Structure 1
Amino acid sequence: MELFADRAEAGALLAERLPEVRDPVVLALPRGGVAVAVPVVRRIGGELEVLVTRKIGYPPAPELGVGAIAEGGEPVFDLTMLDRLGLTPEAVADVVERERRELARRVETYRGGRPLPPLAGREVIVVDDGLATGVTARAALRAVAAARPARVTLAVPVGAQDTVRMMRSEADEVVVLLTPADFRAVGQWYAHFDQLTDEDVLDLLDRR
């Protein structure tokens, strides 16, 4: 199975598979989702914005996600992972509060603190660079759903098969280009998968 050269190529290919909708709101999940979403908007049009999300990490090993939170939404937890670790949502309340503060900082950084555009009654496309556990995408989709859009599409270049199946109950449509059986991490399906900075995100938004 071929790799995407980078997120820009993946976004251009993804745009070809998206349904035609009129004046969508394209919400990119930073940071990597922004690099995918820019070529999507260039091809299909619409309004591009950043929907800020944050992973909720396991305190002794923060890189291990046990949940996620999106602006405007409540924390969403991977209950299987919490159970495996012997944790409850209350046990990571301090982590949630810390991530809320970082989420607010990023909203200020990426959008100058301005609110998201109104989503009620509109076509919304949520874009990320891939789906591993899906907990971040789930948090984003639930926050979007609370704003009562007409329809929500989740669009990603690559995702784990089980996660993609789960996401079909969270969005009206899921568009994904690759669902490899040997999926281990999002980055393995990109030839170039650099970690992006806040400055990279701002530069992408300026050049959209």
Structure 2
Amino acid sequence: MAITNYDPAEVRLAPDGRVLVAPVGTAEPVSVAATFDPAWAELGWVTEDGVTVTPSVDTNDVNMWQSITPVKRPLTGMGLEVSVPLGSFNRSTLGLYFLNSEWTTVGSNGRLEMPNAPVSQEVALAVEWEDDEGDLNRLIFPRATMTDRDALNLVRADAITLGLTFSTLAGPDGYSAVLLTNNPELAS
């Protein structure tokens, strides 16, 4: 069988990128050429594992007496999870990791207090990457909340990483995520 419908240019890598957060409601860029509003803060290094985006759907099986297989399977929920293993260990990333806590400076010491009742974990989140073909891609989540954090491992011979997982929420404009790209195959 001869392969005739396969284009190697459709196989893409994501060798580099960045992750940004902003307060919910911050203006989103409308194209890949538009700059991010200054309220968007870049989170720095991400480990070589990169960013993982996991879509999910929930369904409900409707079973009937006369059939051992479901007769309907309506969609009851959906979501997107974004896992980010941060390699930068700084005030921004640690504040985010410790439930959006705020840093203060006391004398020559930085102080991060983690309150008993943390504030909202809601943020706007963006993942931007340039693929190996030179196309720029932006995956923007207008509302996401931190739903998990990896254990903080302090070891002798490896970098400290701050693993964060965000789950999307319904956005104010009727979508929970938007993908912007200048890939000519997808932009036509």
The verdict on a shared fold, with TM-score over 0.5 as the criterion, is no
Structure with more of its chain in strand, by fraction: 2
Structure with more of its chain in helix, by fraction: 1
TM-score by length of 1: 0.25
